Chain A
């Protein structure tokens, strides 16, 4: 089961979420629809609550769109989209996000995603996006995100590393966590550690040269979804690119390999 989200990583960057009512992946030949509502919540960190901003439904269309502008997000804020049964009764304030309803209709193996599109200076880039419920319930846990922008992206390029964290429990979501860049020699760049906010999109912006010096971003006290946005301008105009990185466990197969490799990988990077 998956949440969706919108965010605003920088003043001049907006995001748009698109989700259809078509079942993303299912057994059989038929094009199947499955109607649901999407409740948009924003965290109120000071009050330690989630505030219901609006409930989106498909109406006569087959898709729903929402943008960071229509939700009214400030830089670093995020809004969480929760797929729910149509007509679900919701209170305007809650200390715990509702669990998202599943969009799967059988055991077909796919995460039911939305499209998340980032726009900047008239150009845009998107990826198929989701935030698993299991991640939103994990308070702590080690995480290594191996830097996607570790090769140079042009002289004028900026790289925005975005750590998206969603905590279902708004009380826990009011606490901060730390993110540590790691150099290509494997050593943590401790003087560059940042304090990140839960239930928000924490952004580390560097130029491409500085970004390329970093091998990874790690955290020992939170899980987050790592996104890399690259912005550049050249003679042909502006360019933007967004992509997420895989969690390290996807680099290995079989339970014995996972049980062995992941603890070792985490230990290798935490000791530094």
Chain B
């Protein structure tokens, strides 16, 4: 290992320990709050369907009315629109509306009425609901969703209705996907930024002998999203993908697209 990167890593270690945590949060959600993973939605080649949960209904084992709030966010981190759905089912599914954006992010929050909460107020006080739903993507005319769960985010709405997050950027981490990527597919890598600060992402394409063949960098706006497309010659011979960011858990959503068969495999890294 060269001296400069080694020194830089050493300093990062010291800084990291001074921050006294490897955790992705500086604080936990407050009691009674509703926080959400950051999900990725797509249009054009895909339709997007979301499956969420009615947390209190699941806890109490009975139907409880809830307002599901889906907030759609563009690549620059601005709210596109929001969708409200009333339901008392344990689970709910929704086909997301057309936004005019090829890809975007969204969050899922739940709102219970005072009438619902009053009889269980003492219990509700103790619950910080963490919405971890599933997103299904239907490619072209397919009727089978390819499904993936949300990416860690802990986003919520502040009192003034603006997007807020408990996720924090820390020291630089390197995340490497446990997969071999090859030229038979096209890969769309979606990196949502769950933090309130611009996030720099450096993605390395690593060849079969472990050398970095190419690096692609991008600064992602707060609550924004970046899609990196890779395939063909850039992955010749089979490659590994690895990236550096200040996210302690810097995962992304990967679309592995087989154009010939019109099929897609979606997974988180």
Contact = CB atoms under 8 A, between A and B. Distances in A.
Contacts of B99: none
Interface residues of A, number: 78
B9 A28 contact: yes
Interface string A152-179: 0111010000000000000000000000
Tell me if A's interface is mostly helix, strand, loop or mixed.
mixed
Given A33-B210, A230-B144, A236-B140, A243 B134 contact: yes
A215 B89 CA distance: 10
B208 A215 contact: no
Tell me if B's interface is mostly helix, strand, loop or mixed.
mixed
A24 B176 CA distance: 5
Nearest to B212: A31
A128 B204 CA distance: 20
B173 A254 contact: no
A57 to B, nearest CB: 16
Contact of A108 (B22, B148, B208): B22
A237 B175 contact: no
Given A28-B12, A252-B128, A254-B128, A241 B61 contact: no
Contacts of A186: 61-62, 90
Given A148-B147, A237-B261, A107 B60 contact: no
B126 interface: yes
Contacts of B89: 184
Contacts of B212: 31
B168 interface: no
Given A22-B240, A24-B175, A150-B91, 14 more contacts: A22-B242, A29-B9, A29-B172, A31-B210, A62-B210, A128-B178, A151-B93, A186-B90, A230-B144, A236-B140, A236-B142, A241-B144, A243-B147, A252-B128
